[in-house]
Amino acid sequence: LKDLDGQAERLNLLVNLHAKRALERLAACYAVTQREVLEGLLREADRAALERAARVHNGENDYYEKRLRLAKKSVTQ
């Protein structure tokens, strides 16, 4: 693997088989790479967490400093 612009870091992980298949389907459905799907989902989750953090005193700063703990939202919320 090569990072041509110096802006990427390698992830090495195992995911549940159902999550992997979902990732493959999403990438095929939107005609993008699996990396693009993951990066998009992470950006959306980051934005949502920041929106919730903004409602808490000092929340944004605590979020960026990895001190903020928000209650996990269920999938149906």
The predicted pLDDT at position 5 comes to 84
- The pLDDT value recorded for residue 65 is 95
Residue the block writes with tokens 């999938």: 75
Task: Please report the pLDDT score of residue 4 as a whole number.
Answer: 82
pTM for the model: 0.80
**What's the full length of the chain, in residues?**
77
Hey, what are 1's tokens?
């693997």
Would the CA dihedral through 17, 19, 20, 26 be positive or negative?
positive
Residue 43: per-residue pLDDT:
97
Give per-10-residue mean pLDDT for the chain (77 aa): 84 96 98 96 95 93 93 63
Q: How far apart are CA 21 and CA 44, in angstroms?
A: 20
